[in-house]
Structure 1
Amino acid sequence: MPIVIGIFCLLPLGIGLVLEYLCCRIPKRRIWRALPPALAVLFVLIVGVGRWNMWTSEEVSPVTQLILFPGLPGIFLLIGCYLGWRLWKWFWRPRVIKGP
């Protein structure tokens, strides 16, 4: 069970956090900030369509399998992107220092 949680939840969360933080921190253009969430959605759609086509020929319902993969890792990847953006905002926001 810990391996499943690590692979399906924590790994995508960490990847999303790191990618979004780096895309917000390093490049100067704002368009790069949208790259990790867009790639996450594209990844989920491509894998979801591929798995849906794989199961259309069988009699087994693919809905539960689509929720487990790519649904769960996709959700955690997007949550990681959001947390990476919030981390960047927290570290690099302008701070007001009050005088005496």
Structure 2
Amino acid sequence: MHRNKTYKQQNLDFLYRELARLNNPAGIGELLRSLLTPAELEDLASRWEILKRLHRGDTQRKIARELHLGLCKITRGSKELKKEGSIVKEILTRKE
């Protein structure tokens, strides 16, 4: 990686700041629908469902069976929830 941020990282940093500034679920939804394909949005929703189910204690195999997904995708979510200081875990805990 270059010493300076790549254009991709610069763009991601910009989007993160703008999403934080929106502070408006409808606006965030509109932005995501503008940037992502319907399949990418479905994948995002699927990943969130995996995280919710893992957080409530469902097994990876049960989730794989019910959502018709591979274990690799579910394992990634499981690792994220086990990370110290996981923002995902914080959000899911706050939601309860």
User: Which TM-score band (shorter chain)?
Assistant: 0.3 to 0.5
Whose RCO is larger (CA < 8 A, sep 6+)? 1
The higher radius of gyration belongs to: 1
TM-score, with structure 1 as normaliser: 0.34
TM-score, with structure 2 as normaliser: 0.35
